[in-house]
Amino acid sequence: MNISHSVPLKFSGEVKEALESGKPVVALESNVITHGLDYPDNVTTAKNVEQAVRESGAVPATIGIDNGEFLIGMSDKQIEKFATASHVPKVTSRDIPVVLASGGMGATTVASSILAAEIAGIKFFCSAGIGGVHRGAETSMDISADLTQLTRSRVAVVCAGAKNILDIGLTLEFLETWNVPIISYQSDDFPAFYCRSSGFKSPQRLDDPAVIAKAIEINWMLPGGKGILITTPTKPEDAIDSQKIDMIIQGAVLEAKRNNIVGNSLTKYLMRMIDRETNGISAKANMAVLVNTANVAGKLAVAHAIHKFSGEIYSGRSQAQ
C-alpha cells in the first residue's frame, strides 16, 4: 500500500513540480513560526530560511497541518496565517492522528516534520536543533520524540546539534544505542545550537558533500537503516560562548525547580531565561542558526540529488551494455 495515498497531503505547486522532476527538496518545520519566535520576526525568519534553501539550489517545503491535511510547502499567505494565529497546537508524531481527524491547525515539530517528509517522498529535513534527552531524564524519562522518529524514518536530518538545555551526552548515547549515524560536516565537534561546540566530539566527521551523499545512500541500503543525523555548527560570527550559556542554564534550572516548572513548560522557560540574560542576543543567534543550517541542508540535498542522478545514469549504461 502506498502510504502517501492514504494520508492527506496538500503539495504546493513548487514542491510538487520539484519532486516530480527529481529536484532536491528540503523539508522545514512550522513550530518555529508558531512557537519559536515572536511576530513579525517569525515571518521574516521563515522566509529567510526558505530563501537560504533556494540559494543553495534546492526547493524548500515548509510543513504544517491545516484543514485536516499536511501542508507540504507553504505560500506566503499560509506562513502569515501560522505566524499570526493564536493557540496553534504544537504537534509531535503521536498527535498527528487526532489533529488530522479534527481538521484544525497544527505546527509540526522535528519529529512530525520528519514523518511528513518521509510520507511525501522528501529525503532531507532541516532544523536549527533536534530535541534530545532532557536533564534529569534518569528519573523523569523525558526523552524527545525527535530521537525515536529518527530511528523510524528514512530521512536525512541536518541541524546544528541539540540545545545546551538538554543532556547532550545522554542524547548521543541514545542515538548510538539505536544505531543512528551521526556525521558532523566540516567540524570535529557535535554542536549545541548557537554554540559551535557542545563539548562532545562527533562520532564521525566528513568534509565533502559528495561523500556524505554516498554515506546517506549506503545507510538506507543497510538492513534497518533509517534516519541519519548530519550536524553543522553555526558561523563563528553568530555563535554564543558555550560557557556563558551553561552558567545561565545552571541558574535557570535551579530557579525552575524552585518554581516547580517541569515537563513541556521547562524547555520554553529555559529558552526565555537565556534570551533575557543575553539581552536578546540568543534570539538573533537563533535566527542565524536557522538560516545557516538551511543553506547547508540545501547544499547537501543538491549533492545527494547529483549522486542519485549519476548512479542512475551509470546503472542505465551498465544494463545497456
Known binding-site residues for substrate equal 90, 110, 144-146
The kind and range of the H/E element at 182 are strand 182-185
For strands 59-66 and 69-72, give the pairing. Answer: antiparallel
Binding site residues for Mn(2+), as ranges?
142
Rg over alpha carbons for the chain, rounded to the nearest Å, is: 19
Beta-carbon count within 10 A of 73 CB? 26
Beta-carbon count within 10 A of 206 CB? 18
Cell of 106: 497544527
| Catalytic sites, residue numbers | 29, 163
Cell of 191: 554542536
Residue 136 zone, left/alpha/beta (φ > 0; ψ -120 to 50; rest): left
Distance CA 33, CA 26 (A): 17
The DSSP string of 186-229 is T-SEEEETTEEEEEEE-S-EE--HHHHHHHHHHHHHSTT---EE
Task: Tell me the sheet residues that pair with 206.
Answer: 185
CA dihedral 176, 182, 188, 189 (to 10 degrees): -70
Helices (H), the chain: 13-21, 31, 41-55, 76-84, 96-102, 110-120, 137-140, 145-150, 168-177, 209-221, 242-258, 264-277, 281-320
Helix axes 264-277, 242-258, angle to 10 degrees: 130
Binding site residues, as ranges?
90, 110, 142, 144-146
